[in-house]
Structures are given as structure tokens and as C-alpha cells.
């Protein structure tokens, strides 16, 4: 609060300071846009100190800078007006949206943000619970193994390929990145630095019109890749929740896997983290039981038929034969089947921590036992798959 007061004092009584410190633009922005970040900052520090006190890993808030981070600002519900496909924002005026707000209810606020060269407004609306729930079309029980070869392998035998957008556009990405860095090099030379010089902190190079254009082109490509990826995971996670009464997935250590550079590109291409968080909220929506297997549950190593553990299995083995019962396994499908077992009473005894001599290879299923169908009534079915982007509107200003 003290910091906010100090800021407001400068903004409203000391306009000269703004000009002298290169922040004349602060005058043109609405009060809400700079009041909210202080609330966020307070929350972030509160969390930091609470974590520190509790002895947990604490992360201090990171510094944000206009034009360098995700550009966005908040508008309180009494500061903007919606009228069909038009939104009236403070200090900006009327902006056309690509579509009308699809929800009826109390409007709580809005956040305007930018991705590449497009502007979006996310409108928070309070709606009753009923429209949130959706009806399932099937009530199966399945395990899902996420991988690099096939993005997802379902225990019913289906292997789903990811549209590997990053790989396909990598060449174009390289070209556009190179074009941009050439312009940066040129700017460095113009300013009297060497091509590869490390600039002293706080140096501001003049930004040419061409460099701006080039940066925008690159940003558009990145945004398109992100959209392709999001589209794929949204469709997959919606389908999985819609068709299953229980789903078992692995708790994948994404950070640890990304540290492995050889795997990193393929993994980030599939979007593991996004996959899991979407499943988590959609499972609630469809009344699907989501079970997350422990990170150390050896889903790939166990034989899904007899439970023999293949200690010699390496990452390279795509297929293997069980030494105990002679079953031939596809690596990913076998893992998916083992995961499925965690949702049913046929969970293999080897999978429990006690019979494993207390080794790290245990499992922590949320439920083990027979799963009975759960139905939610009152929810209507929506097969458009577009519901996920409900509160996002593209605005042309």
C-alpha cells in the first residue's frame, strides 16, 4: 500500500518526474491498469513469506516490464461497458470484438491482453454451476500414457499422434529468428558496439522500423505454434473426459524431463503441463474420476498381464517380451494398461509399495477400487469443443 501511495503521488502530483524518467506514457493509462499490479505484488510477497515461514521452496516475484512480458491490464466491472459486439474501455473508447459475450450473469471484471499483434479481452462472468457440467457419451475406464513417439497412448489400444507443429515450423522459425538477430547486430554496430558484444545493463539501442516489423513477424509465428498446440490438447482432453468415467495418468516430472535436452523439444511440443491442467478441470466438468499415478510407479517396466518387472528396460526399447509369461508388449500400450489397473480392483500387487521392499517404486493412486458410473444431470451436451475459449474475444482496434 505504501508503494502504491508513493506511485500515485508521483503520477498525480509530479508529472515532471514522469518525463524526466522516460515514463510519460503513465499519464495515458487508466487507474485500474496500474492499481491491480500492486495488489498482485502484495499477494506474491505474501505467498513468498508464507512459503518461507513454512519452510517450503519460496519464489520471490519476478520483475515485469512493459513490452517485455505478457502485456495486459485489468479493468474493473464498473469501468467498461458491453454492447453486443462492442466493448467500451476507459481511455481507449469503443473497440469491436469478433463475437458477443456468450454468458449471461454478473460481470466481475475484465483483463485485456496482447498475444503477438492481437488483442484479447477475458471477461469474468459469474454463472450458476449447472451450465458448467457436461454429460459424458461413454463410461469407459482407461489409462493414458504420454510419450514422445505417440503423444498419447490409450489403454484401449489407440495411439494418438500430435501434430508436431514446432518441428514442422522449425525451419521457418530459424529463418525469422536469424532475420531479427541480424537487425539487432546492425543496431549494435550503429551504436558503436561489436556484433557479439554484451551490452552494459540499461543500454537502450535505437529500435528501427524494420527491427520492429521483424520482431512482430517472429512473434506471430510463435503465437501460431502455441495455438496449434492448444487446439490439439484441448480436443484430446475434452474427448478423454467425455468418454471415460475414470482416467489414470502419470505424474510426469516435466521440469526434470525438459532438462534432458534431447527429449526437451519433443516434449514441449506435445505440451505435457497443459495436458494435465486441462484434464484436471475438465474431469470435474464431466464427472470423470482423474487418478494421478505416483511419479515412481514403474508403469513402463511392469508386465500388464502377470506383473513381472522388467528391470533391464531402457528408454530405447519400444517393444519387449515378458520373461515370466512370454507376452509381447508395445512399450507405450503396456504402460497405459498398467495405469488403467490403478483405477480398477485388478491393481497388481507388485505395484504397491509394501511388496516392493519399501523402495521408491511405489504408487499413490487416489482411489483403488471399482469405479461406478457417475452421471451429472442438468448439464447439456456441447460438442463444439470451442467452449474452452469462451471468455476470449479477439478485438480489432
CB of 329 to Zn ion, least distance (A): 8
DSSP H helices in the chain: 2-13, 15-20, 31-53, 165-190, 209-243, 254-259, 261-270, 272-286, 331-341
Catalytic status, residue 140: no
Residue 315: is it exposed, middle or buried by C-beta count within 10 angstroms (0-12/13-18/19+)? Answer: exposed
* Residue (74 or 320) nearer to Zn ion, CB: 320
Q: Which of 243, 250, 269, 294 is catalytic?
A: 250
Closest CA to 35 of 70, 86, 82, 79: 79
Question: Which cell numbers in the block locate residue 134?
Answer: 457436461
* Residue (92 or 327) nearer to Zn ion, CB: 327
CB of 350 to Zn ion, least distance (A): 11
**Which positions lie near Zn ion, rule CB under 5 A?**
303, 305-306, 308, 322, 324-325, 327
φ, ψ for residue 169, nearest 5 deg: -100, 5
Residue 155: is it exposed, middle or buried by C-beta count within 10 angstroms (0-12/13-18/19+)? Answer: buried
Q: What is the largest CA-CA distance in the chain?
A: 82
CB of 308 to Zn ion, least distance (A): 5
Question: Which cell numbers in the block locate residue 220?
Answer: 506471430
Residue 372: is it exposed, middle or buried by C-beta count within 10 angstroms (0-12/13-18/19+)? Answer: exposed
CB of 327 to Zn ion, least distance (A): 5
CB-based contacts of 184: which residues, under 8 Å, 6+ apart? 205, 211
Catalytic status, residue 250: yes
DSSP 164-181: -HHHHHHHHHHHHHHHHH
Closest CA to 77 of 108, 123, 102: 108
Are the beta carbons of 126 and 108 closer than 8 angstroms?
A: yes
Q: Which of 32, 294, 332, 388 is catalytic?
A: 332
* Residue (282 or 329) nearer to Zn ion, CB: 329
CB of 323 to Zn ion, least distance (A): 8
Q: Which of 145, 243, 269, 388 is catalytic?
A: 145
* Residue (103 or 308) nearer to Zn ion, CB: 308
CB of 37 to Zn ion, least distance (A): 57
Neighbouring CB atoms inside 10 A of 207's CB total 12
* Residue (292 or 303) nearer to Zn ion, CB: 303
* Residue (308 or 376) nearer to Zn ion, CB: 308
What residues are annotated to the active site? 145, 250, 332
Amino acid at each position: 500500500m505504501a508503494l502504491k501511495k508513493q506511485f500515485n503521488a508521483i503520477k498525480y502530483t509530479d508529472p515532471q518526474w514522469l518525463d524526466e524518467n522516460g515514463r510519460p506514457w503513465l499519464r495515458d493509462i487508466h487507474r485500474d491498469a496500474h492499481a491491480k499490479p500492486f495488489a498482485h505484488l502484495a499477494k506474491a510477497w505474501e505467498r513468498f513469506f508464507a512459503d518461507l515461514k513454512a519452510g517450503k521452496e519460496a519464489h520471490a516475484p519476478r520483475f515485469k516490464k512493459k513490452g517485455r512480458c505478457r502485456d495486459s491490464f485489468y479493468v474493473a466491472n464498473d469501468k467498461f461497458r458491453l454492447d453486443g459486439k462492442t466493448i467500451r474501455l476507459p481511455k481507449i473508447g469503443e473497440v469491436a470484438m469478433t463475437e458477443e459475450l456468450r454468458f449471461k450473469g454478473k460481470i466481475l471484471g475484465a483483463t485485456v491482453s496482447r498475444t503477438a499483434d492481437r488483442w484479447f479481452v477475458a471477461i469474468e462472468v459469474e454463472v450458476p454451476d449447472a451450465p458448467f457440467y457436461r454429460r459424458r457419451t461413454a463410461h469407459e475406464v482407461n489409462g493414458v500414457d504420454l510419450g514422445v513417439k505417440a503423444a498419447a497412448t490409450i489403454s484401449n489400444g489407440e495411439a494418438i499422434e500430435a501434430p508436431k507443429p514446432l518441428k514442422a515450423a522449425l525451419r521457418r522459425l530459424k529463418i525469422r529468428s536469424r532475420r531479427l538477430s541480424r537487425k539487432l547486430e546492425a543496431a549494435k554496430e550503429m551504436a558503436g558496439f561489436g556484433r557479439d558484444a554484451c551490452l552494459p545493463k540499461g543500454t537502450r539501442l535505437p529500435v528501427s522500423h524494420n527491427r520492429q516489423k521483424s520482431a512482430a513477424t517472429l512473434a506471430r509465428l510463435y503465437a501460431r505454434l502455441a495455438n496449434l498446440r492448444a487446439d490439439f490438447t484441448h480436443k484430446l482432453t475434452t474427448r478423454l473426459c467425455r468418454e471415460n468415467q475414470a482416467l489414470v495418468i502419470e505424474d510426469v516430472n516435466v521440469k526434470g524431463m525438459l532438462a534432458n535436452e534431447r527429449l526437451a523439444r519433443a516434449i514441449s511440443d506435445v505440451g505435457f503441463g497443459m495436458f494435465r491442467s486441462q484434464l484436471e478441470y475438465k474431469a470435474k466438468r464431466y464427472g470423470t474420476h482423474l487418478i494421478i499415478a505416483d511419479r515412481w510407479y514403474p508403469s513402463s517396466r511392469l508386465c500388464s498381464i502377470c506383473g513381472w518387472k522388467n528391470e533391464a528396460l531402457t528408454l530405447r526399447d519400444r517393444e519387449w517380451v515378458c520373461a515370466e509369461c512370454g507376452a509381447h508388449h508395445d512399450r507405450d500400450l503396456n504402460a497405459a494398461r498398467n495405469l488403467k489397473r490403478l483405477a480398477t480392483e485388478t491393481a497388481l500387487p507388485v505395484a504397491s509399495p509394501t511388496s516392493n521392499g519399501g523402495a521408491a517404486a511405489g504408487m499413490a493412486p487416489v482411489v483403488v477400487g471399482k469405479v461406478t458410473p457417475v452421471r451429472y444431470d442438468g448439464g447439456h451436451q456441447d460438442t463444439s469443443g470451442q467452449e474452452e475459449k469462451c471468455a476470449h474475444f479477439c478485438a480489432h482496434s
